[in-house]
Amino acid sequence: MKRWGRRLRHLAVGVLDLPQDVVLEVPRITMIGHLQMYIENHRGVLHFSEKELRLLLTNGQLLITGEQLVIRAILPEEVLLEGRIGGVKFLEKPQ
């Protein structure tokens, strides 16, 4: 059943010309250098410290590492992160 939903989403992206991040439920990440990051379409904060931010995604997790990290704004599906961002890693949900 999940395959049908995934196929319909991909079809909607192609045929209806809808944004992929919205239809496919993937995060949209905007970075300004290595000092600021804006993440949309997350499902919640799992862990936060000044060296790491871990966000829940529909299909896994997003791990952001760095130094002096600060969450400047947080909304239900958006996060604005500042600090020295050193790495971004997607951790996929096991199938």
Residues facing residue 92 across a β-bridge:
60
Work out the mean pLDDT of the chain and round it to a whole number. 84
Q: Which residues pair with 79 in a beta bridge?
A: 39, 74
What pLDDT band is residue 25 in, cutting at 50, 70 and 90? Answer: confident
What are the residues whose beta carbons fall under 8 Å from the beta carbon of 51, sequence distance 6 or more?
65, 66, 67, 69
> What would the mean pLDDT of 87-92 be, rounded to a whole number?
95
**Overall average pLDDT of the 7-26 stretch:** 58
Overall residue count recorded for the chain in this entry: 95
pTM equals 0.75
- CA-to-CA dists, residue 11 to 7, 8, 59, angstroms: 6, 5, 19
Tens of pLDDT, residue by residue over 59-76, are 899 999 999 999 999 998
Please state, in angstroms and rounded to a whole number, the distance separating the CA atoms of residues 50 and 19. 32
